[in-house]
Structure 1
């Protein structure tokens, strides 16, 4: 395989690879313990933030997910009813709620999301910090471009 690609060659390779990548990611089996929860991609992003970054407020989650706090509140309420998340008062400000993954659900969620983290680690570790940053920035720009193309004009 060549080490350098022209832009059109890279686009072709990525357009052919992306459907396979998405299909394989979707085939990662949902652990039996949480299959009945009917988790959507937004749930997975929310759980990933809580798993990797720890407990946080609804507003912090909303900022990271780039959605309205009301959307996060609905997701948190739904997952709290299902016993996946816990909401507690913030000791510093009792008006705020801190959201975290329920301790009894943590191992299964951590094990499930670890598969993707392991694959990303294998892909990113050989890169320099600058190359990793460029890769993440490139995917972010692609995501924004696809999002903008999908929105009606």
Structure 2
């Protein structure tokens, strides 16, 4: 084994032991106190992240980005809009489309929830070069794709 890297089998072993702890920690992530009374789960973090980073968007676009069926997103958005955490409105250009957004009075609380994971990613990625970050992100994408192929 070289002094500046890991052999493949050692890296695989390390990641197989590390990833369940990471996933477990993500599953235990609780919303901030401002959102504590709502029915929220870690799966909502991705939906909120897209809306925070990219702004309001149609249900179908959210479904595409989340890689789930539009009906799944519609149900999630319906539940969250009834709780007042998301807003739905008709698209002025095409009234058949529904645009989803985070209302101003909930934006800060949603940002706080997403921020804890963003801080952890920032700390992990900041010391890396842009090329190393790209490689890391691409590697996680390949890992996810391979898991989906087997499952």
| Same-fold status (TM-score > 0.5) | yes
Contact 2:86 2:102 in 1 (8 A): yes
CA distance in 1, matches of 2:110, 2:82: 17
CA distance in 2, matches of 1:112, 1:43: 10
CA distance in 1, matches of 2:24, 2:10: 22
What pairs up with 1:3-152 in 2 under 5 angstroms? 3-149=4-150, 151=151
Name whichever of 21-30 and 91-100 sits farther off.
Answer: 21-30
Cα deviation, residue 20, structure 1: 2.2
CA distance in 1, matches of 2:79, 2:130: 38
Cα deviation, residue 65, structure 1: 0.4
Contact 2:47 2:62 in 1 (8 A): yes
CA distance in 2, matches of 1:26, 1:71: 20
Aligned length: 149
Unaligned runs of 5+ in 2: none
Give the alignment's Cα RMSD to 1 decimal. 1.6
Deviations 1:59-91 (A, max 9, x none): 110110011111111111111111010011222
- TM-score w.r.t. the length of structure 1 is 0.88
Cα 1:144/1:14, change in 2 over 3 Å:
same
Name whichever of 46-55 and 21-30 sits farther off.
Answer: 21-30
- TM-score w.r.t. the length of structure 2 is 0.89
Cα deviation, residue 58, structure 1: 0.5
Cα deviation, residue 28, structure 1: 3.6
Cα 1:48/1:146, change in 2 over 3 Å:
same
Please state whether the residue corresponding to 1:72 is helix, strand or coil.
helix
Name whichever of 50-59 and 85-94 sits farther off.
Answer: 85-94
Name whichever of 101-110 and 137-146 sits farther off.
Answer: 137-146
Cα deviation, residue 21, structure 1: 1.8
